[in-house]
Amino acid sequence: MKVALLGNPNTGKSSIFNALTGMRQQTGNYPGITVEVKTGFLNKKKSSDRIKIIDFPGTYSIYPRSIDEQIVYSSLTDKSNENHPDLAIIVCDSTNLDRNLFLFSQVYDLQIPVILVLNMADLAHKKGIIIDKELLLKEFPGIAIVETNARVNLGIERLKSEISNFKFQESKPNQDFKLCSISDDNCQSEQAEIRHQRIHKVTEKLVTDIQTDIYRSNKIDKIITDPVWGYLIFATILLLIFQSIFSFAAYPMDWIDDGMLKLSEGIRTWLSPGIFIDLLTEGILPGIAGVLIFIPQIALLFFFISILEESGYLARVVFIMDRIMRPLGLSGKSVVPLMSSVACAIPGVMSARVISDWKERLTTIMVAPLMSCSARIPVYTLLIALVIPKTYLFGFMNLQGLVLFALYFLGLIGALVVAYIFKLLIKAKSKSFMIMELPSYKIPRLQNIGLSVFDKVKMFVWGAGKIILAISIILWAMAKYGPGDRVENAIVKISKAENFKTLSQQEKDQKLNAIKLENSYIGIIGKTIEPVIKPLGYDWKIGIALITSFAAREVFVGSLSTIYSVHDEGDENKRLADRMKLEKRADGTLVFNLATGLSLMVFYVFAMQCMATVAVVKRETNSWRWPLIQMAYMGVLAYFGALVTYLIFK
């Protein structure tokens, strides 16, 4: 049996879904369009009578106002749709029945069997709201009514047994009801008019004595949306979040790093060497490590974002940011996708779905990858350690920290400027709008936050992880093999060289690795593109690192380690930086001078260098057009940004 879970936003719908299904949930792609639906199972046992619960996005009506709401309309109105439910659970906020019954009565009129869940029943009682259930049943015969308080799991067992034992009863068709098409505004307005009159007739008698305590939250809102305090509070919260992400995530990241290294060493000690072991320890394991290493930061950021979201604060952020974002072709709702993109552009791009306007949504998606994500951090920190001295500006401002901040800032400014350019270039399909509820403040629920973090991490691991892993394997092969016997010849040549025999075994190995890479396919490509990147201050070795990090930025560091033959033991980053500091050009000057270092940093601020994001943007925009435009404009921005930087600092 298929059960649809529907309801207005902020009614505790996701709490009900989590309470019903626990960990038996999965996120799947909705066929045809790009929206993901969450499904879960009511009962544990694997059998044919398993009850599947489909969690639809929160909506105020069956008629969609954003892309993720379209599945509600298509699933409910089309009987042949694979998500067409046998039963619908409509979650209502008991303190706000007038508006909540709108969606309920629409679904009821579609003649889908309905269980009406009156959630937040306790709050309604406290406010003195008494709901006459007999009257509701008289007006809407055939439905079941369950009162719940999902925050403390009250009424959930009742709801579960109602679902399992639901008896279908024929409801009387509503003569006034007409199903409108999505684009027919007049039909929808007329229907809404009739529906409101009908609901009002019921709620008039149904609900007694409403006393609103809106005035309490009104006082908080006046501070939080104040022109000075509002932005100050938001900036402080952002600062605290990013500060704690950087300090807390460092520990688990070190554990993952160490763990993978030990695992790889262990495999090498215990298994006899061979091509498969090489593939495992040099291709697959570093690939997996490259995915795992980002999980702590991503999990932490989404932990904070979902706290802000659950508490109701995020809606206020949208409220105060909207007017500022609009001249740039974005909306207040672009703030969350852009914030998420600081962890990873993939969940960032996906969270742009809540933006109802197509143009604002597309613009948000197009600029989101310009926000500096966690994969850029290893690149930034290496380059900063390399060319920025550890001094203090004015005696207290850490220059290295300042440069890091400047890189993030550059990405943000880039995103805003590009958004503005897109605003001028893209034609709007329709006028944008933002009609949004400001939910009352609530204490966040740990279970909801946990599941949301789990969801986002899964999105990253499956979205980016697969691609990062696949590309690491391809790159491994391209770095190991060269055309014909070119690699072998080079090895023979170097081993015959005079000074080679005097080296220690470790030095010999390192030298050989570097020679192998130089003559591999990747080495050849690196040398081929050297003329193109020379104006930016790069040599062919940096070219190799640029190419290998084309699919995922963080590979840059690992590639340089291999190129400069740094053994990955102990403090790799420091040793790599020390080694890179010695690297000289043909004319005897240092390769990694200030100009080249800064030029590389700017390059990585702007360049796309992330295949996973390209794939997600393709999926979200449903065409190759936008991801290709995105890659092109980011590439141009990166190249000329780096060029200008190099010329200035040379």
Partner 1 sequence: MRLSDIKIGKHVWVSGIEDSPLKPKLMEMGIVLNRGLNILFKAPFGDPIAVQVGSFVLSLRLEEAKLIKVKSN
Least separation in angstroms between residue 319's CB and partner 1 is 5
248/319 with CB nearer partner 1:
319
| Residues ≥6 apart with Cβ < 8 Å to 276 | none
Contact between 2 and 112 (Cβ < 8 Å): no
Calculate the alpha carbon distances from 438 to 121, 315, 361 in Å.
20, 6, 20
- H/E stretch holding 588 reads none
d(CA 289, CA 476): 14
Q: Tell me whether residue 207 or residue 642 sits nearer to partner 1 (CB atom).
A: 207
Q: Are strands 2-7 and 52-55 parallel, antiparallel or unpaired?
A: parallel
Q: Which lies closer to partner 1 via its Cβ, residue 10 or residue 613?
A: 10
Give least dist CB 108 to partner 1, A. Answer: 16
Task: Give min distance, CB of 353 to partner 1, in A.
Answer: 17
Amino acid 355 reads I
The alpha carbon torsion through 621, 622, 628, 629 (nearest 10 deg) reads -40
CB of 323 to partner 1, least distance (A): 5
Amino acid at 577: A
The residue (of 6 and 404) whose beta carbon lies closer to partner 1 is: 6
Shortest spacing between CB 371 and partner 1, in angstroms = 23
Q: What is the DSSP letter of 171?
A: P
Nearest to partner 1 of 188, 398 (CB atom) = 188
Q: Give whichever of 12 and 296 is closer to partner 1, judged by the CB atom.
A: 12
Minimum Å gap between C-beta 234 and partner 1 is 11
Binding site for partner 1 (CB under 8 A): 60-61, 63, 65, 95-96, 98-99, 102, 185-186, 188-189, 191-193, 196, 210, 212, 214, 217-218, 221-222, 225-227, 230-231, 315, 318-320, 322-324, 332, 430-431, 433-440
Query: What minimum distance in Å lies between the beta carbon of 171 and partner 1?
Result: 22
DSSP assignment string, 265-307: HHHHHHS--SHHHHIIIIIIHHHHHHHHTTHHHHHHHHHHHHH
DSSP state of 610: B
Query: Please, what is the minimum distance in Å from the beta carbon of residue 15 to partner 1?
Result: 18
d(CA 278, CA 441): 55
CA dihedral angle for residue 208, residue 212, residue 213, residue 218, rounded to 10 degrees: 170
Closer to partner 1 by CB, 226 or 485: give it.
226
Q: CB of 437: closest distance to partner 1 in angstroms?
A: 6
Compare residues 358 and 408 and give the one whose CB is closer to partner 1. Answer: 358
| Least gap, CB of 180 to partner 1 (angstroms) | 8
Helices 521-528, 466-480: axis angle to 10 degrees equals: 90
Comparing CB distances to partner 1, the nearer of 192 and 284 is: 192
Question: Helix or strand or coil: residue 92?
Answer: strand
Q: How far is CA 501 from CA 497, 513, 514, 516, in A?
A: 8, 16, 16, 18
Q: How far is CA 162 from CA 41, 42, 89, 147, 166, in A?
A: 15, 12, 10, 12, 5
**336, two tokens:** 């969350």
Q: Least distance (Å) from partner 1 to the CB of residue 145?
A: 20
Q: Nearest 5°: CA angle at 4, between 3 and 5?
A: 120
**How many residues does this entry show for the chain?**
650
Our CB check for partner 1 shows the closer of 355 and 467 to be 355
Smallest separation (angstroms) from partner 1 to the CB of 649: 39
Closer residue to partner 1 in complex, CB, 233/560: 233
Beta carbon nearer to partner 1, 74 or 100: 100
First to last CA, the chain: 69
**CA distances to 75, 178, 288, 455, 568 from 184, in Å:** 19, 12, 50, 36, 64
Cβ-based nearer residue to partner 1, 7 or 332: 332
Report which DSSP code applies to 91: E
Alpha-carbon distance values, 90 to 7, 101, 123, 411, 650 (Å): 5, 9, 18, 43, 65
Min dist. Cβ of residue 260 to partner 1 (A): 47
